Structure 1
Amino acid sequence: MYLAYGWPQSIPLDPDNSDRVVLLRLLGRFLLAVCPASLHLWSAAQHRVRLARSDRSPESLSAHGYNAHAVWSPDAKTVAVLTSSFYLYVYKVQHLGKQLIVGGKQVPGLCLASISLIITEKVPLANGVAITSNFVCDNKSMLLGLSNGHVQVMSWNAEFSDSFKLGCSVCSSEKPTAVIDALVFDPASLRDNTNARPAPCCTGNSSIVHVELSVKLRLLVALYSGCRIALCTIGKKGLRQPGSIRVERWLDTDDAMCTSVASEQQILAVGCSRGVVELYDLAENTRHIRTISLYDWGYSVEDTGPVACISWTPDNCAFAVGWKFRGLTVWSVSGCRLMCTIRQTGSNSASSPMVKRCTLKFEPLMGGTSHIQWDDNGYKLFAVEENLSERVLAFSFAKCCLNRGLSGTTYSHQVLYGDDRILLVQPDDADELKILHLNVPISYISQNWPLLHVVASNDGMYLAVAGSHGLVLYDLRNKRWRFFGDVTQEQKIQCKGLLWLRKIVIVCNYVETSNTYELLFFPRYHLDYSSLLYRKPLLGRPIVMDVFQDYILVTYSPFDVHIFHVMISGELSPSSNPVLQLSTVRELSIMSPKSPPVSMRFIPEQNDKEVLKRDTNESYDLLSQQPSRCLILRTNGELSVLDMDDGHEHALTNSIELFWVTCSQFEEKGSLIKEVSWLDYGHQGMQVWYPSHGAGPFKQEDFLQLDPELEFDREVYPLGLLPNVGVVVGVSQRMSFSTAEFPCFEPSPQAQTILHCLLRHLLQRDKIDEALRLANLSAEKPHFSHCLEWLLFTVFDADISRPSASKNQASQKVDSPKNSLLEKTCDLLRNFPEYMDVVVSVARKTDGRHWADLFSTAGRSTEFWWISLGMICDCGKHIALLYSHMMYSQNILTFLISWRRSFHLSLILHCKMDHCHECWTMTLIGKTAECGVLTLS
């Protein structure tokens, strides 16, 4: 996922110009900004350099008007600009070829360019017709919308075809052989009724105000001024064949302002005038997914204005939203707020929603956002402020490993990485999580920018880091980098994925000369082809890889799975000559209409036979057992289990963004995660899945149990696990302010414990001894008392939330040998000195009507009261605890007993405590007086 860090960078355009930028577009390593009277070409790579600029003459501006719309061809060689007087200017972008020198070295791909005007043509429009939308384009043609509801197609050579109206084949003058029905979208009806009714294709006098093109999906999205959205299919020849453009579906909205398509995940994002973003699933009948907004953070449309622009990250895992009046925010698909430029520091802050925007200081994009663009790797987000073409702001982002694609899972460390650095999450001396910035050596990154892959070894001692070419290793213990000694060898490697196999780093290498892929096995003690252990040619381009112990999984498109087994003879050390053998142990070819996988992870085998052998200390090599199942995450967020023995796939859940397979991954002593099979994160939050050894292993109710009570805030995104502490590590955005113009964005790590989930899981299965051992193992961990409190609270809350009928039935089963979960929880907590504090804290969080239920199981309230009293007499720091006891004591006991205890307590306190605590005594007496008893009898 994407987290902002550092200060925004400023790219100057036209100083002192208050006009809005016409176009902001990024292709490859180049950034194009079209202003009302000029064009600017900048380098968007490691070094920000202006490569070219073209200014229009005053005569041209007077005759043809200012630049109003623009588009950049996909090959980055041509720019088309439409003026306010409807003249089309076509510019040619040409790179001069001489590389620039930065820091005494030539930078690859960085050279000056020229922008020259080659064509000027008047757009042939009918009387009274105007151009009202933006441009979209493919390699051959451009398209834009008109005020009469038609679209105009033109070539890059300024050749114009006749404009035409978008509509289905029913109302089209041309009758194609295949009729495509136009369907109307109605979220409420389509959820209950799959029979869609024919849509009215005529849009009246509505003009087209926005168009969006997805070449991959062959989809054209047209937004009309009446807020109707047309979803059109495009022929194989693209826009140059206008007759093939047909409306396939209509989407009716009330306040649509702009759209953006995520081609990989097939999601349509619609920005609305009420300041929210609606997400629709294009693969499922344009089903409404969810609504994204800042309402929960205290901001409404009066603060931000309508949505002005939306931009998806290259992998479609997140999207940026710019508002017309104020601010910019980045969201994950599930709705987690990853970054926000709007200050959020409390209701009394000067930056709260109640304060006028003119009073705000040091906030980026305070006047609104008109354009946003991600770079090709998602490391930079470029944004332009509304009605201001003075500069472009560049926000830096770090990505976390999403367990996707060809790189392995990082279990030992939580790692984020930017374009030239690594951000490590690790505890400081006070066990507080901090982020350490680790800069990649300039000798490597200057020639191989940007970073593409970062994976930590299983033992947590090394990081494998790969840029555009080559590979480097970082020794975390000794804080040293390890490079290829021969630069020519380094440049032969184009790393597409990284895996760790114990002390071996596996590189998925793309061989450009032969257009093939291969696996390279290097020992971590020496990066050189002379030490290469094995080279495995692959059958094609892999889409997913994974490794578990001695087994490697490689998946090709569309869904061909190959499993390899690795055997190593000899010691992996510089003084020996190890031999690696690779054999294919399994091949599967799965035919499925589902979306392709983006992640696959082995599920280690855990059966009763293995447990028995380990318990009897028999010689049993768990590493030699081949996994027969794996988890699959698909592009649409579906999570499923694949049985590789018979090819059966069992769907588990959906709307998932990432997951971690935890069973048997943490073998070190002190791990608290062994009882968990895997965790996942998505729209429903964090979910913990437990193993089950039922008779039906592929029935969800027997195979797994879902724990719904592990939650992160919707501004904290989970990164991974800390098994020795039993927590999930997440990260959120923080901003620090100084005398600089803009704030510094700081990712802030946070920990969420899962100990209470594990303990409840064990107690539910009557594993009392295991639960006690786990709790004892965690007793010295941070937040242990909070975990016990959360455990008791969730169990008690579930107990009192049951229907009264089921409660009565349960109470009648006096002969049942099993205790209730609440009783087992209290029995467990009695083994720890925090028990009394935990029960009192839970009572304070619970409705007083249910206290009798709690103390009937946890113990008599009088016992808690006098135990607390003895503690208070010995130590004044427990005064607050006593005060809490009095609060429930006065409700749960008779009034007389409560009053007498209060009086006796006041006497004891008056005698045993010094003067500084007398105020607390009077407070306690006053609390009793509130109940109406002021004299003793």
Structure 2
Amino acid sequence: MYWPTATSRVLSIPSPLDDAELLCVRPSRKGNFFACLSRAGIGIWDVRPTVMHAAVIRTERSVERWGENVDVFWATDGRGLIVLTTTSHLVLYTLQPTPNPAYDTPPAQPATYSAGPGEGGVLSGWALRPAGVAFVMGGCTSVLPLPHSLLLGLRHPPGLLEVPWPLPQTLVGGKTGNQYPPAPLDGADGQLWDMANTWMKPSPPLKLSVTRTQGLPAMYTMLTTDGRVWGMYTSVQAGQYQPGSSRTTSRFVGQAIYPPSRAHQGSSGNEVLGLVDAPDEVLENLEDEMRAVDFAVNTRMGLVAVGLAGGQVEMISVPPYPQPARRSHTLDLKASANLRTPPGSVTSLAWTSDGYALAVGYEHGWAVWSFGGRLGGWGLADEGSEESFMRGVHELFWAPGNLDLFALTKESSLYAIPFAKSATTGQHSPDNTRYAFLQMDDRVLVYRGADQPDLSVINPESDVWQHIKIPNAYITTNWPIRYASISNDGKLIAVSGRRGLTHYSASSGRWKLFADEREEAAFVVRGGLLWFHHVLVVAVEADKNFQIRLYSRDFDLAEANVLHAQNIPSPVLVMSLLDNSLLVYTADNTLYHFLILPTKDAIRLHLCGSISFVGIVRVPSRVRALSWLLPSAQKDLGDPADDLIVATMIFLVDGKLVLLRPRRAGNEEVRYDMQVLADRIEAYWTHLHGVGTLENSLWGYDGSGMRIWLDALTIEATKVDSVKDAYESVQESVHLRLDFYPLSILMDKGIIIGVDYETSLRNLPFALFKIQTGTHLFLPQLLRYHLSTGHLDSALVFATNYSSIAYFAHSLEILLHSVLEDEVDAGSLETLPRVVEFLDHFPESLDVVVGCARKSEVERWEVLFGVVGAPRELFERCAAGGRLRTAAGCLLVLHTLEELDDAKDTIRLLRLAIEAKEYHLCKELLRFLHSIDETGSALRHAIDEVGIVPDSPMPPSPPTPPPPTPPPPPAAAAPPLLTFRSDTPPTVARVLKSDRVNSPFELSLPRLFTSPPSPRTVETMPQPLEIPGDS
């Protein structure tokens, strides 16, 4: 869902760090600042505008006494910094505001200066102040700042030490006038956890992190020097979620995340969870390439990415406590990008704040992956770019909004790589999935190619991306954009940033903003925006109150013009609009169903009901999208107020596509049976009013392909065993492999629209990233599914809806070709006879068969025509029906299978072509006769028989031209088929060389399709798509 775009920015590092070797960069907790560290200095930068505010260079005496800088850590308040040194000292700094701005901004001259996104207002000044030095006994290896304490990793002995924060003044030295060494931080001043006598293998910690999720205990993640990653919980919190786990005397309980322990069936309690003793397989020594070197926790998807020394990234799924961790999948850049050389060890990992993308730094490159495993961008030293970030990345992190990736290279250069992302990363709503809708730093992009004719949709040269720039007056002060929404007809767009909102109309080409900036700053959009016709539905937070407001596009944006305001008791997490039903899911795990009721003079929300999902959805904040499917009887005859109690709910939570089926007995409350359809689902599409058999179909993309359940209402319920990892319990109807990322499904055209990226390095000193549009025709695979299951009637009903599109015959040809290839290779002809029977219902069947034969290997013709029928019979049918070009294609088959009466069949078809004035076909037939008989006798016989040149016999030897005599005029009855405007009479060579066109007699080499075929553009489509003409 993320793709690099345009070109990177290289940041100019000012004095005094301009000549220093940078060791690392660390963003603050909120992401608005980042610190860069050298061996003796530290600098504080603002992300937007990207400038350095303050820097401190330590003196040589300070470096000798306290050691060189190794790493830097931000305090949770974003104002304190802790620098770890080589001698186990902690050098403390505070970031304080100054009364003067950091830089002198240019005067207000609109003609020469315009602030960019996030660059509005005065740039406040900041200063770094030394706050003292502390010493850690036992050798400090890492620091984890907590709100009221510091968790320190120790080397001797391996363990964790927790000390209060801010540090007591008696433990801090190095201040002005106090040069005495500080008292050491040890077990006497805090709580010490010795790993030697615990449930894990003792090894010094290298990296620590903590993640907090509402409804779950805080998880501490630790990387140790032996290449393992552990997930830990405090015994007190663990006892609240797992009775009995708090009985242990250990301060922490937990489990191995990497390598994950294998839970054995029949075990129970803390042994299964790995809370007592580490299993034997976890304690085994790891090979060097399999050792973990870094990790990153994705709290939105419940994943932990573990980078290995061998260059792979292991994705570990960590379900809600106390379920055990499990390996999900592996990211391998060398295999996915088909590289000749490996990228080297992983150096850094960083998740986007929405959890959809993972940035990976390698010794010799970088990459960005979707959480499901789709490669969205990469660079490698082998590509020959002059930019150092393409040759290896040391550290990286995402800026707020996730549209800039900051990278520190091995050469101590700082780069900012711009990205584009799908709008569904911020708000996964039905309308946002209806269109290919992208966000960039200062604009949104809408794909308008869907409004073009059929053939233009699948032509990459006709891509129409409309770039809509967000008003500068809004984006300069409200960057980054958090939500973007598009209307059902694609004409209205709304976006919201830090505060307020603004909306756009494609009809007028204008944006509307709040006239009063105080009203704009009075609320923040939290939960999303949706369009109901011309009315904008917005979930807002204002003065710690939560509301759903309705704004009209026709009115100015003002607090007085709010059409309706509905109070909500808790923050809105997800909204979804289905027809006029508004579904609102809140942080207290409650789903509200509203009906939008417009009248002549007003519009309002009517609450139909609400349902609590406590006990069903464990972590509400991990719900990314929701919708429902209604039975046909309810849609046609039911009361809309009762939709909620009969609808099958669809949730996208933790990357899993979940169905909740209602069950109600008598007057009891509605209960739900939960069914997990698939794991690693990044986006899904529902079609409540689909085409034919696609109604109520469910489409989900898992990072590698599209999974389709044709009727989600009829999926049989199956038991889901979370311990056995039974996520793949429901097999999809159809699976489509895609070579791009899908964004939109054009149901009426049978096309999937998506994007991919391209890197241009040729003749450029820098990398240029471009976004490319991709298309995939899904009709052949769905037709094949119906036919393979024996549902001929369903296939006919489905195909009838698409019989009028220009590339329908092409779809049938792909269907026949793929089935032929697969079943010949498999040695079983089960579906091919059904496909042939199916084709007989359409007038394009003969064209499809001949076109398929031209694109298949000759060895497969015997099987094909053994089912379709004899080529002679097809030839006669085509000739009798006036399908002359199709009949010409049959001549090649007849000749190859030695069933052709050369002179008779060709001459007969030549006469028909002359009568129909198919002059190009006439030339192809003549060329065909010359190709099967190089002596030219067959060609001369045909010309004499048909009478093409009655008064000028052809020369006996084609290479020797006759004397230049004027050609006699053609006979009155003969059409001007092969006349020439020169004094040289026609020869066989000239006939063969004139105006070559695509010949029906030539095999398509190289073959256009592989098995299964997956056409992406018109260039990979069969030529019979084009209607032959005379020029």
Q: What TM-score does the superposition give when structure 2 sets the normalisation length?
A: 0.71
Corresponding residue to 1:278 among 311, 314, 317: 314
Q: Is the 8 A contact 1:258 1:308 kept in 2?
A: yes
Secondary structure in 2 matching 1:258 = strand
Structure possessing the higher radius of gyration over alpha carbons: 2
Correspondence 1:146 to 2:176: no
AA partner of residue 573 (structure 2): I
- Corresponding position: 1:258 with 2:287: no
Match of 2:989 in 1: 915
Give me the whole-angstrom Cα distance separating, in 2, the residues matched to 1:448 and 1:754: 41
Contact between 2:484 and 2:493, CA under 8 Å: does it hold in 1? yes
What SS does structure 1 have at the residue aligned with 2:515?
coil
Aligned to 1:422: 444
User: What are the superposed Cα offsets for residues 160-219 of structure 1, whole Å, 9 maximum, x if unpaired?
Assistant: 2339996779x35xxxxxxxxx4xxxxxxxxxxxxxxxxxx444xx54444443344533
One of 631, 637, 650 as aligned partner of 2:650 = 631
Matched, 1:329 2:381: no
Native 8 Å contact 2:758 2:771 kept in 1: yes
Contact kept in structure 1, 2:232 and 2:252, CA below 8 Å: yes
Q: Distance in 2 between matches of 1:738 and 1:797?
A: 38
For the residue of structure 1 that corresponds to 2:373, the secondary structure is coil
Who is 2:700 aligned against?
680
Please tell me whether the aligned partners of residues 499 and 523 of structure 2 are also in contact (alpha carbons under 8 angstroms). Answer: yes
Corresponding position of 1:348: none
Aligned to 1:602: 627
What CA distance in whole angstroms lies between the structure 2 residues aligned with 1:298 and 1:494?
41
Distance in 2 between residues matched to 1:149 and 1:84, nearest whole Å: 17
1:766 is aligned to: 793
Distance 1:776 1:925 in 2: 27
Kept in 2, the 8 Å contact 1:679–1:689? The answer is yes
Show CA shifts across 1:216-252 (max 9, x none). 45333333333233333236699xxx96234533734
Which residue is equivalent to 1:74?
A: 76
- Residue identity over aligned pairs, in percent, reads 18
Matches within 5 A, 1:554-565: 554-565=584-595
CA drift of 1:442 comes to 0.5
> Partner amino acid for 1:245?
F
Does 1:94 find its partner at 2:96? yes
Instruction: Name the CA distance, whole Å, in 2 between partners of 1:534 and 1:925.
Output: 69
| Per-residue deviation, 1:313 | 1.2
Shift of the alpha carbon at 1:12?
2.6
Question: SS state of the match for residue 477, structure 1?
Answer: coil
Shift in alpha-carbon separation, 1:692–1:372, aligned structure 2, 3 A: closer
Q: Which residue of 2 aligns with 1:728?
A: 752
Which of 29, 32, 36 is residue 33 of structure 1 equivalent to? Answer: 36
Residue 772 of structure 1: CA displacement? 4.3
How far the C-alpha of 1:439 sits from its partner, in A, is: 1.4
Q: 2:820 and 2:1001 mapped to 1: Cα distance?
A: 32
Q: In structure 2, the residue corresponding to 1:680 is in which secondary structure?
A: strand
Q: Given that residues 393 and 408 in structure 2 are in contact (C-alpha distance below 8 angstroms), is that contact kept between their aligned partners in structure 1?
A: yes
1:664 corresponding residue in structure 2: 688
Q: Is 1:245 matched with 2:252?
A: yes
Counterpart secondary structure, 1:70: strand
Residue of structure 2 in register with 1:508 after alignment:
539
For residues 235 and 309 of structure 2, what CA distance do their matches in structure 1 show? Answer: 32
> Aligned equivalents of 1:168 and 1:89: distance in 2?
26
- The amino acid that maps onto 1:677 is S
Contact kept? 1:762, 1:771, Cα under 8 Å: no
Q: Report how far residue 491 of structure 1 moved.
A: 2.1
Kept in 2, the 8 Å contact 1:210–1:222? The answer is yes
Question: d(CA) in 2 for partners of 1:787 and 1:213?
Answer: 53
Distance 2:687 2:883 in 1: 48
How far did residue 802 of structure 1 move?
A: 7.0
Residues 122 and 843 (structure 1), Cα distance of their counterparts in 2 relative to 1, 3 Å cut:
same
1:41-90: CA deviation from partner (whole Å, max 9, x where unpaired):
11113x22222222222332344442112211121111111223333210
Deviation of residue 625 (structure 1)?
Answer: 7.9
CA spacing shift, 1:916–1:767, aligned 2, 3 Å: farther
Amino acid at match of 1:478: S
Partner SS state of residue 775, structure 1: coil
Aligned residue-pair number:
824
More deviation in 111-120 or 751-760?
Answer: 751-760
Tell me, which stretches of 5 or more residues in structure 1 are unaligned?
A: 173-181, 183-200, 344-350, 353-359, 571-576, 614-619, 812-818, 928-937
Match of 2:672 among 644, 648, 653: 648
User: What code does the residue aligned with 1:136 have?
Assistant: L
- Secondary structure of the residue aligned to 1:657 is coil
Distance 1:167 1:795, change over 3 A: farther
Offset at residue 338 of structure 1 (A): 0.8
Change (3 A) 1:567 1:245: same
Aligned to 1:532: 562
Given the alignment, which residue of 562, 569, 579 partners 1:549?
Answer: 579
Q: Residues 660 and 674 of structure 2 are in contact (CA less than 8 Å); yes or no, is this contact kept in structure 1?
A: yes
Q: Does 1:775 align with 2:802?
A: yes
Query: In 2 relative to 1, CA 853–376 (structure 1 residues): closer, same or farther, beyond 3 Å?
Result: same
Partner deviation per Cα, 1:638-677 (whole Å, 9 max, x = no partner): 43244386332341422243444442357xxxx7895462
CA distance in 2, matches of 1:748, 1:17: 39
Alpha-carbon displacement from aligned partner over 1:815-835 (angstroms, at most 9, x marks no partner): xxxx95323333245535741
Distance of aligned partners of 1:624 and 1:119 in 2 relative to their CA distance in 1, 3 Å threshold: closer
Q: Distance in 2 between matches of 1:296 and 1:767?
A: 40
Higher mean C-alpha deviation, range 485-494 or range 425-434? 425-434
Distance (Å, rounded) in 2 between the aligned partners of 1:924 and 1:470: 62
Q: Which residue of 2 aligns with 1:718?
A: 742
Task: Please state how far the C-alpha of 1:479 moved relative to its aligned partner.
Answer: 1.6
CA contact (8 A) 2:374 2:704 kept: no
For each residue in 1:5-64, what CA deviation from the matched residue of structure 2 results, as whole angstroms up to 9, or x when unmatched?
Answer: 22212223366646342333243211221222221111113x222222222223323444
CA shift, 1:529, in A, is 3.1
> Counterpart amino acid of 2:589?
F
One-letter code aligned to 1:161? D
Counterpart for residue 932 of structure 1: none
Cα pair 1:26 1:375 within 8 Å, conserved = no
SS in 2 for 1:706: coil
What is the CA–CA distance in structure 2 between the aligned matches of 1:468 and 1:314, rounded to whole Å? 15
Aligned to 1:840, the other structure's residue is in SS state helix
Q: Does 1:456 align with 2:486?
A: yes
CA distance in 2, matches of 1:884, 1:58: 86
- Paired position in structure 2 for 1:195: none
Aligned to 1:477: 507
Alignment CA distance shift 1:66-1:792 (3 Å): same
Match status 1:213 vs 2:210: yes
Q: Does 1:858 align with 2:868?
A: yes
**Paired residue for 1:116?**
129
CA–CA separation in structure 2 for the residues paired with 1:32 and 1:826:
66
For each residue in 1:785-812, what CA deviation from the matched residue of structure 2 results, as whole angstroms up to 9, or x when unmatched? Answer: 54223322344456557786xx6xx89x
* 3-state SS of paired residue (1:27): coil
Structure with the higher fraction of residues in strand conformation: 1
Instruction: Evaluate the alpha carbon distance shift between residue 54 and residue 765 of structure 1 in structure 2; reply closer, same or farther with a 3 A threshold.
Output: farther
1:839 corresponds to 2:878 = no
Q: How far apart are 1:322 and its partner, in Å?
A: 0.5
- Structure 2 contact 684–698 (Cα < 8 Å) conserved: yes
2 CA distance for matches of 1:35 and 1:270? Answer: 26
Amino acid at match of 2:133: T
Q: Specify the alignment match of 2:26 in structure 1.
A: 24
| Alignment-derived partner of residue 491 in structure 1 | 521
CA distance in 2, matches of 1:208, 1:695: 48
